[in-house]
Copies of this chain bind each other. A is one copy, B any other.
Amino acid sequence: MSVIPESHADLLEAVTLADVATIGPKGEPQVNPVWFEWDGTHLCFSQTTARQKYRNLGREPRVALSIVDPTNPYRYLEVRGTVVAIDPDPELAFINRQAQRYMGEDTYPWHQPTDERVVVRVLPEHTSQMG
């Protein structure tokens, strides 16, 4: 399973938030929580194209994600990697699946007609972990 240690691979399947760190326009770090999904190779998350984070990813594809075990705050996995794909999500298939997973809702309730959704796919290259 790529660079992910077996000891912490379960966290890729946890229904919890990941904090995603990106690099801002002046080279400064930015971080905020997202829903995520592991597709077996990539850590994936949804983004609207209007968000600062989307613009950051277009300029600097290196990112880091922190996933804390929802049942043990002393256990976490940090994944550092590169955005290798940003795919359109015009039918909202990805974000709706996320809404099912995280909210038990069939469709993502906060979608706005003007929102253009994409799926960001991160290939893990390094990890750090605790616990």
Contact = CB atoms under 8 A, between A and B. Distances in A.
A33 B68 CA distance: 8
Nearest to A23: B29
Contacts of A29: 21-23, 29, 31, 62-64, 80
14 contacts: A21-B21, A21-B31, A22-B29, A23-B29, A28-B64, A28-B80, A29-B31, A29-B62, A30-B64, A32-B76, A32-B130, A33-B66, A33-B76, A52-B128
Given A17-B73, A33-B66, 13 more contacts: A19-B19, A21-B31, A23-B23, A23-B28, A23-B29, A28-B80, A29-B31, A30-B80, A31-B64, A31-B65, A32-B78, A32-B128, A52-B128
